[in-house]
Structure 1
């Protein structure tokens, strides 16, 4: 039985009990009409619960007892005794429906970008194998914007999700009518993102009208901040619960006015996804196999935060790419953030020509792979180490136990910052570890900061052992049922 149906039945039982209480107060002077109303209510309840034999038998007993009430003609004590019996029966009915009748939850997962599906996937995997849950993955459409904020392109990435996930087209899933018990989202922006915007039907304020549990799970792993601070997004107000990775991150939400009761410190499913990569074989494109054969493989990850905040982003990126183009005994897999080109076109157009030139140059290199796939994890699986600017992928990669070289500014490494995830055990170019030194170190299987790096990160993140999705599913499910 759907949880929503259970709630409606419990409310209906409340109404019947109000009528029975009225009979109790009125005693043998109760009207025939009120007795008939209670009888009709019980008959309707009996029809609703016809498939639940234990409940149905109790309700039938209550009906027979109500029908034995004769106003004005019975002894007062007999009348009250029968009323009390009906109350006891209804208490038993309530208890059985609550505790013994199977509760089925309908859960809708609403990703919009396939590259961010990893923030929901481990929760989905747990919910999907729960016999009391019916799950729907409903990828939602979004739009890209130009520099003036005007919509320039309709986008839908549902067909890019893993093949074993059954997709429900967003046009076919009428959440307004279905009113799922839980909705999970990873997009907090609604209309307030300068690059993309989800379809207005899926704004968080609209979704919140049709579920009692709207859960926001961040699409990224948070790194650090100058102060306990975080941008306030519309979904923070509209969400029923917000999942965060650490106590420090919770403090940042609360410091910016988010209700502490909304925030659950349960970790990040993106860490689950990275750990799963180590244990599950990943399919890679055929041409990769020849390119990486018998070579050390370095993953070069570039996000979009530095494009917007660091004037030397392009020079830094070009330096790394040029190094590997000059060292063909290594393979480099470059993963620019999926929104890199759009960000440059929209917000840094002066870089566009140079960006396109280096892309064309790289296509001629025999040891460079440009990975524009939505799935990060094949590149993670085949790589021996990562070189990355400040991004979520760099933070996640720490859990693989492979070496990490961070291209971070000095401001990202100050001791008095607020660290939502502790990444200070990595190697950094700003701490005099050059790209060439890092490559040599990986080649020689040297990693003297390995234990420190892993320990710092694990101790700063909740449920960093691959159980985050399991814990989130169990916690949210229990919250919904108990409420």
Structure 2
């Protein structure tokens, strides 16, 4: 079931819960006229929920049956003659609503619809690795929708229109922008890489795809720059309309993140600065709230363009990693890049966690080898969302591995470093493997069916 729909239905259930309190009052006061009206409203709400749920869950699911039983109880309450009978049925109504809410929250799988909006084919690499990760997740339905753009005339008006969807790699499935209804589909996430809207002097994406319009269609608008900045980003890149309207902005380093945050807070806080001067004191609450928004909005997660190319130069190794890798005689231990993916855990669940434990146990005993375990960045969040019953087991694995201190746990944003400093790859099959094979170093895909 789509995320936004699930949230909508959860809200309806919350409203139904509140309505039950009113039902109790109406029954006790024997206000049958308003009681009948409210029961009818609750029945209509349950039918609306069922109609939406049938689209994703089918008409023979436990959830649908609970809603049918709920409606039957509503009818029985409506025709019951005595107050005691109505109160007894109301308790059953409440239980059915609780059961249905629990199933919706914990057992109906959340499905995310994610849209990627490249405009120039040459800039697709700034979105590709994100698209690959989402495409591999069984809980994500991904749409790559190249959008048209225009040349700008000297007077600022729109000139010739261009469309480069046919120039994307053959392995990318493209959806025609004319055939996707943003308002109806309401994608959970939209990724875009042109932040200028109408304010670029050279080109403009079609006005239908300006950031203010995109903001109307999604609850999570994510901007990823089409360029890399090598730690120094000119401030004018940080103040575009797309940056300000996005819910999240993905940047490539902590230094660049701080630049974006500073520009963002300085511009939004300009009026507050004037007010502080007039009032003679600093409004700490305002500035703290603005900082919290900026901390959440700007994320140092790297840039997919780096993911496309394996850098030849040496990576900077953190001191704590170096202490594990370098022997007392100055020689280097072999480093094994151990990669575990979202897809494997979702498909194999307990078996995948058992395989991880088995692998860690094996490498713990290898004195001349250092394991560099780098789980997919979304593994923990995915487990928490989709299979929360495995959260504690997974957390225990990570906590034990980190506390023992014999291997490297890489949860940083730069997975290129793991590729560069390691001597071999071991783990699940993923998009990382294709990049790793370019290095010419050994690759071994683990089998979840082999537990030693």
Unaligned runs of at least 5 residues, structure 1: 276-398, 402-450, 460-464
Residue 228 (structure 1) shift: 8.0
Match among 110, 113, 122 for residue 115 of structure 1 = 122
Alpha-carbon distance in 1 for matches of 2:171, 2:81 = 69
Alpha-carbon distance in 1 for matches of 2:376, 2:243 = 21
Q: Structure 1 residues 196 and 27, CA, compared in 2 at 3 Å: closer, same or farther?
A: same
Q: Structure 1 residues 149 and 39, CA, compared in 2 at 3 Å: closer, same or farther?
A: closer
Residue 479 (structure 1) shift: 11
1:74 is aligned to 2:82: yes
Alpha-carbon distance in 2 for matches of 1:237, 1:478 = 31
1:63 is aligned to 2:67: no
* Native 8 Å contact 1:267 1:468 kept in 2: no
Alpha-carbon distance in 2 for matches of 1:203, 1:475 = 33
Residue 122 (structure 1) shift: 0.7
Residue 37 (structure 1) shift: 2.9
1:232 is aligned to 2:248: no
**Structure 1 residue matching 2:226: 3-state secondary structure:** coil
Name the residue aligned to 2:350: none
Alpha-carbon distance in 1 for matches of 2:258, 2:304 = 20
Match among 297, 304, 312 for residue 400 of structure 1 = 312
**Which has more helix, going by share of residues?**
2
Greater Cα shift, 48-57 or 123-132:
48-57
Q: Structure 1 residues 214 and 471, CA, compared in 2 at 3 Å: closer, same or farther?
A: farther
Alpha-carbon distance in 1 for matches of 2:202, 2:78 = 72
Name the residue aligned to 1:14: 14
Q: Structure 1 residues 49 and 117, CA, compared in 2 at 3 Å: closer, same or farther?
A: closer
Match among 255, 260, 264 for residue 257 of structure 1 = 264
1:271 is aligned to 2:302: no
What is the TM-score with the length of structure 1 in the denominator? 0.55
Q: Structure 1 residues 468 and 129, CA, compared in 2 at 3 Å: closer, same or farther?
A: closer
Name the residue aligned to 1:92: 99
> 1:371-382 counterparts in 2 under 5 A?
none
1:126 is aligned to 2:128: no
Name the residue aligned to 1:279: none
Residue 480 (structure 1) shift: 10
Alpha-carbon distance in 2 for matches of 1:62, 1:174 = 34
Greater Cα shift, 139-148 or 112-121:
139-148
* Native 8 Å contact 1:213 1:480 kept in 2: no
Match among 39, 50, 58 for residue 35 of structure 1 = 39
Residue 227 (structure 1) shift: 9.0
Q: Structure 1 residues 53 and 171, CA, compared in 2 at 3 Å: closer, same or farther?
A: closer
Alpha-carbon distance in 2 for matches of 1:12, 1:467 = 38
* Native 8 Å contact 1:266 1:472 kept in 2: no
Alpha-carbon distance in 2 for matches of 1:130, 1:458 = 34
Question: CA RMSD, aligned part only?
Answer: 3.7
Residue 75 (structure 1) shift: 4.2
Unaligned runs of at least 5 residues, structure 2: 266-293, 321-337, 343-374, 387-452
Residue 400 (structure 1) shift: 2.9
1:183 is aligned to 2:218: no
Alpha-carbon distance in 2 for matches of 1:86, 1:471 = 43
Name the residue aligned to 1:243: 250
Alpha-carbon distance in 2 for matches of 1:87, 1:4 = 25
Q: Structure 1 residues 142 and 229, CA, compared in 2 at 3 Å: closer, same or farther?
A: closer
* Native 8 Å contact 1:228 1:252 kept in 2: yes
Q: Structure 1 residues 39 and 467, CA, compared in 2 at 3 Å: closer, same or farther?
A: closer
Residue 68 (structure 1) shift: 2.9
Deviations 1:224-283 (CA, angstroms, capped at 9, x unpaired): 4499885301012211111112221221111112533212221111111113xxxxxxxx
* Native 8 Å contact 1:230 1:256 kept in 2: no
Deviations 1:190-225 (CA, angstroms, capped at 9, x unpaired): 111122111111101101101111110111112244
1:161 is aligned to 2:168: yes
* Native 8 Å contact 1:229 1:255 kept in 2: no
Deviations 1:373-394 (CA, angstroms, capped at 9, x unpaired): xxxxxxxxxxxxxxxxxxxxxx
Q: Structure 1 residues 475 and 211, CA, compared in 2 at 3 Å: closer, same or farther?
A: farther
1:3 is aligned to 2:38: no
Match among 316, 326, 329 for residue 455 of structure 1 = 316
Q: Which aligned runs of 4 or more in structure 1 are off by greater than 6 angstroms?
A: 226-229, 456-459, 465-470, 472-481
Q: Structure 1 residues 234 and 75, CA, compared in 2 at 3 Å: closer, same or farther?
A: same
* Native 8 Å contact 2:233 2:256 kept in 1: no
Alpha-carbon distance in 2 for matches of 1:234, 1:458 = 40
Quick one: higher RCO (CA 8 Å, sep 6+), 1 or 2? 1
**Structure 2 residue matching 1:191: 3-state secondary structure:** helix
**Structure 2 residue matching 1:242: 3-state secondary structure:** strand
Residue 17 (structure 1) shift: 3.0
Alpha-carbon distance in 1 for matches of 2:219, 2:379 = 16
Residue 467 (structure 1) shift: 10
Greater Cα shift, 227-236 or 214-223:
227-236
Q: Structure 1 residues 133 and 72, CA, compared in 2 at 3 Å: closer, same or farther?
A: closer
